[in-house]
C-alpha cells in the first residue's frame, strides 16, 4: 500500500516563532502516527530555523514508524545523522535564503560529493533517498549511486496552472517509469495538497509521498490526527482506483 510520510517541520516553525516549547513536534508525531502516518519526516537545517537537534534525538526514540531525516550533504549534519541513525535519510539541497527546498539535488552535477555522503550513510545501515527533479539525467545519476530510493520533486506540478498541470503530470509519469526501470523505490513530494495529491498517488509504482505544509495547515484547524487520516484516505483511494489528473 502507498505510504504517507508526514513532515512535521512546520509544527516546529510555529514553536520557533516564539522560541518557546509549544507546539512540540514530538507530540505532533505521536498524533500523526495515530492518524495513520507510515513515516515521520523532518529536516534538520543548518540554520536550525525549525527542527532542533533535541527534536531529532527525542523523535528517534519515540517514533515507531519510519523516521526519515531530510538533510543537506554537509559534514556537521552527516555527523549527527550517523550518530542518531534515522531509518532513512533523504538528501536535499539547501540554501539559507530559501523559504523551503526550491529544487532537487543536482546529483548528476556533483556525483563524487553526493557519493561520499551516500556511502557513509549506507555503511551505517541508513537507507538513502535522493530528492531530485523528475529529469532522466538525475534519475540515471541516482541509479549509479546505488541508493535505495529517489523522491521526485513535485513542486512544479503543484505550482502549475491550466494546461501546464497535465504537462507536469506527464513528466512525472515518464520520470516515475524510469525510476522503476532503474530498480529504485519511487517516492515523491513537495507542494502536495488535499486537492492535487490523488493524481500523484495514482502514478504506477508510487511507494511513498512526503507531505508537510498542507497537513500541518489543516491540523491547525481540525487537529493532526484527522488531517493525517484524511490525507491518507485520499492517497489510498487514488492508488487503488488510479484517479486521472483534474
The answer to whether 90 contacts ligand PXP (rule: CB under 6 A) is yes
Q: Return the residue of 38, 55, 151, 208 that touches ligand PXP, per CB under 6 A.
A: 151
Q: Using CA atoms, how far apart are residues 178 and 218, in angstroms rounded to an integer?
A: 34
Nearer to ligand PXP, 143 or 152 (CB): 152
Grid cell digits, residue 143: 541509479
Q: Interaction with ligand PXP in 16-35: which residues (CB under 6 A)?
A: none
| Site size with ligand PXP, rule: CB under 6 A | 19
Tell me how far, at minimum, the Cβ of 8 lies from ligand PXP, in Å: 10
Q: Of residues 30, 108, 212, 232, which one binds ligand PXP by CB under 6 A?
A: 212
Give the C-alpha separation, 163 to 237, whole Å: 25
Residue 130 and residue 107 in contact, taking contact as beta carbons nearer than 8 Å? yes
Least Å distance, CB 79 to ligand PXP, is: 21
Q: Which residues pair with 73 in a beta bridge?
A: none
Q: Where are the alpha helices (DSSP H) in the chain?
A: 9-16, 25-34, 53-62, 75-84, 111-123, 136-145, 155-159, 163-181, 197-201, 213-222, 224-241
- Indicate whether 190 belongs to the interface with ligand PXP (CB under 6 A): yes
Residue at shortest CB range from ligand PXP: 212
Which x/- pattern over 51-80 shows residues binding ligand PXP (rule: CB under 6 A)?
A: -------------------x----------
| Residue 135 binds ligand PXP, judged by CB under 6 A | no
Spell out the residues 6+ positions from residue 114 whose beta carbon is closer than 8 angstroms to its own: 73, 91, 105, 107, 130, 145
Return the closest-CA partner of residue 89 out of 100, 105, 110.
105
Contact letters (x/-) for ligand PXP, 95-134, by CB under 6 A? -----xx-----------------------------x---
Contact residues for ligand PXP, defined by CB under 6 A: 7, 9, 43, 70, 90, 92, 100-101, 131, 151, 189-192, 210-214
Amino acid at each position: 500500500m502507498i505510504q504517507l510520510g508526514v513532515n512535521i517541520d512546520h509544527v516546529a516553525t510555529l514553536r520557533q516563532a516564539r522560541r518557546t516549547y509549544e507546539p512540540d513536534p514530538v507530540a505532533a508525531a505521536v498524533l500523526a502516527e495515530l492518524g495513520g502516518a507510515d513515516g515521520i519526516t523532518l529536516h534538520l537545517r543548518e540554520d536550525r530555523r525549525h527542527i532542533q537537534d533535541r527534536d531529532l534525538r527525542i523523535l528517534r526514540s519515540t517514533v515507531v514508524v519510519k523516521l526519515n531525516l531530510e538533510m543537506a550533504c554537509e559534514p556537521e549534519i552527516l555527523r549527527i545523522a550517523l550518530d542518531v541513525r534515522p531509518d532513512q535519510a533523504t538528501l536535499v539541497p539547501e540554501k539559507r535564503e530559501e523559504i523551503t527546498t526550491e529544487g532537487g539535488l543536482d546529483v548528476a552535477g556533483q556525483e563524487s560529493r553526493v557519493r561520499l555522503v551516500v556511502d557513509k550513510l549506507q555503511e551505517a545501515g541508513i537507507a538513502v533517498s535522493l530528492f531530485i527533479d523528475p529529469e532522466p539525467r538525475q534519475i540515471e545519476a541516482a541509479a549509479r549511486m546505488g541508493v535505495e530510493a529517489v523522491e521526485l520533486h513535485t513542486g512544479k506540478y503543484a505550482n502549475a496552472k491550466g494546461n501546464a498541470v497535465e504537462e507536469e503530470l506527464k513528466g512525472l509519469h515518464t520520470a516515475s517509469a524510469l525510476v522503476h526501470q532503474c530498480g529504485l523505490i519511487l517516492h515523491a513530494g513537495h507542494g502536495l495538497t488535499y486537492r492535487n495529491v490523488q493524481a500523484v498517488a495514482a502514478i504506477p509504482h508510487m511507494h511513498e509521498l512526503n507531505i508537510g505544509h498542507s497537513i500541518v495547515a489543516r491540523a491547525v484547524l481540525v487537529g493532526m490526527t484527522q488531517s493525517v487520516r484524511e490525507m491518507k484516505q485520499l492517497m489510498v483511494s487514488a492508488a487503488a482506483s488510479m484517479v486521472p489528473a483534474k
